[in-house]
Structures are given as C-alpha cells and as structure tokens.
Amino acid sequence: MIGAFLVNYAKSLFTAEFPEYWLFVLGSMFVVVTVWFPDGITGLLRQRFPALVGSGSR
C-alpha cells in the first residue's frame, strides 16, 4: 500500500510538472524498486526497524 501511495503521488507530481517524462520516471522507479528493494518498502522497514514493523512470521 505504501508503494501505491508513493507511485500515485509521483504520478500527480510528474504529470503536472513534466508530463512528457512521466513514463521514464515510472520505468526508473520500477527498476530501482525491483533491484534495491526486492521485499518492497515494508521489507526495508522490517529490516531497519524490526520492533516497529514486526518480524513477519506467524
């Protein structure tokens, strides 16, 4: 959900300011998230702040 909110915010920002570059920004965001955050934003938060997010195991 966090990623969806960030993508929607970025879309609103970039389509208003730089509409011709929005698809390049979206593609770049996809590559960055796939390479650097394979577990997503929650996985990053879980790694940095385990007490705050929880371990994820049930």
DSSP string, 11-48: HHHHHHH-GGGHHHHHHHHHHHHHHH-TTHHHHHHHHH
Mean pLDDT of the region 19-32: 87
Please give the mean pLDDT across all residues of the chain.
Answer: 81
Question: Length of the chain in residues, anyone?
Answer: 58
Separation of CA 57 from chain center? 22
51 pLDDT band, cuts 50/70/90, is confident
pTM for this prediction: 0.55
pLDDT in tens, 3-21: 788 888 888 888 888 888 8
Is 22 within 8 Å of 14 (Cβ atoms)?
Answer: yes
